[in-house]
Structure 1
């Protein structure tokens, strides 16, 4: 077993290496099922991490002071969009990834309201209590959601989701809104958020949110969050575009979306809290 673990760890030649299951199995010459089982164990123990970009070295392997190439790549792709969102709305903007049952904040861009939002770059929060987390959890398999939320206990506020049944219902609402996730007072009593996931070929890799006070009309700025998340997805995954004649590239078939009129109607329906 130790020999097999060593074979797998040796495949990751640097902190920025991202490999698929097939690449690991091929490089180590291990059966795919064996490689998958060991990779899962290494992810649980945080020697590796698994995101939509593939498997990479985790926090234990990198050391407490180590950086993360995948996170740096996400931050770089999102930076200009986060600043554009903040300037256009005046609200605080978050960028986060999913790490087990938590969201891990990669970036925070804010104006005058930033100090009132008790989040920080490098900080964490329970995924089920944040719009960021729900935006990413909505695109995972139900079994994965339940494994991540297995320790779901207690409430951060009186509005925090406290059981798996309610969480699944909420994630279904997120999917019906084509990925828009909201929360008001679920993580902190006087704060509200709207978020959308940055999605890759294998699922969500990050999420972007706008944050305001509990009375902010976030439904009106929700389309800006969706657009920013899609732009970051396109930056991270240009290979998802389809080549056409003449060597030019055209965007792949778009994900389900709305016309401006349909978006207005959808969001107007949530102005009185029925998306909760």
Structure 2
């Protein structure tokens, strides 16, 4: 990307900064991009202007051009790193559309529950985290965007494995990894039994202390026409009453499924999320 790709313009007289601006457009762009300090960071225009100390109109003009050049993306919830920035970091892959489609849903889940919310995909025998929206418990949860965990011992992974044919499950998890904790599922018979229970619950997956002994999760898959595309989870400590928030996860996954893959036929919907 060249400096010429982003046009400069005069500052309006009613928008003059109280402090001197960085002299070059490259420095102003860098200030804005540096504000997005993690792949999951989302900021409003006001937050960007406050963080960078740029006038609001200047920040807005540069943000618009960074969005057009795909360094940033923009949705009703705010701005986030775009496909160019994510691909440079090796964490975005081809999942920008999925992250954008789930952004508002993940944010709403976190606001309603106060819990940590994850978005992940299956990547071989692992889940790979695409997004993490934190609550007060976020620093305790040892996950990070771009990080991985064994699929068979996470609610996210089990929620997706449940919608794969048995032979594909075995292809992914064989040989079954060793125990993460004393609760980790380490044999195929037990794993297939657990996946059957998840299907009986219309895709709702639970995990208590299977990946980390002091963490519990509930998850549901986002399903495409050819199988599970991703999963959403809520995360709490080992004593969290997951059954209370489980319906919210199912409805959230349904919303994204129906937005991205309206051709997918799902069972009768759960009560509406008011």
TM-score using structure 2 length: 0.65
Instruction: Please report how far the alpha carbon of residue 256 of structure 1 lies from its aligned counterpart in structure 2 after TM superposition.
Output: 3.9
Q: 2:258 aligns with which of 224, 230, 234?
A: 234
Q: Which residue, 192, 210, 219 being the options, matches 1:168? A: 192
Query: How far has the Cα of 1:253 moved from its partner?
Result: 5.8
CA pair 185-253 structure 1, distance change in 2 beyond 3 A: closer
1:130/1:183 contact within 8 Å kept: yes
* 1:91, distance to aligned residue in structure 2 (A): 0.3
> CA offsets, 1:215-269, max 9 Å, x none?
000101001000100111122124x2xxxxxxxxxxx864244569xxxxxxxxx
Contact 2:159/2:198, CA 8 A, preserved across alignment:
yes
SS in 2 for 1:193: strand
Query: Which of the numbers 203, 212, 215 marks the counterpart of 1:179?
Result: 203
- Structure 2 unaligned segments of length 5 or more: list them: 1-85
Deviation per residue, 1:100-128 (Å, 9 max, x gap): 10000000001111000000000000000
1:152 maps to 176
Query: Is residue 199 of structure 1 aligned with residue 223 of structure 2?
Result: yes
* 1:169/1:91 CA distance change after superposition, 3 Å: same
Q: Which runs of 5+ in 1 are unaligned?
A: 1-61, 241-251, 261-276
* Total equivalences in the alignment: 187
1:69/1:105 CA distance change after superposition, 3 Å: closer
2:111 corresponds to: 87
Change (3 A) 1:219 1:67: closer
67 and 118 in structure 1: CA distance in 2 versus 1, 3 angstrom threshold: closer
CA distance in 1, matches of 2:143, 2:207: 15
SS of 2:132's partner is strand
| Alpha-carbon spacing, 1:71–1:153, altered in 2? closer, same or farther (3 Å) | same
State the structure with more CA Rg.
Answer: 2
CA contact (8 A) 1:98 1:136 kept: yes
Partner of 1:157, secondary structure, is coil
CA distance in 2, matches of 1:67, 1:221: 29
Question: Aligned equivalents of 1:164 and 1:64: distance in 2?
Answer: 38
Closer, same or farther in 2 for the Cα pair 1:259/1:95, shift >3 Å?
A: closer
Separation (CA, whole Å) in 1 of partners of 2:87 and 2:109: 33
RMSD: 2.0
When residues 110 and 162 of structure 1 are mapped into structure 2, their CA distance, relative to the original with a 3 A threshold, is: same
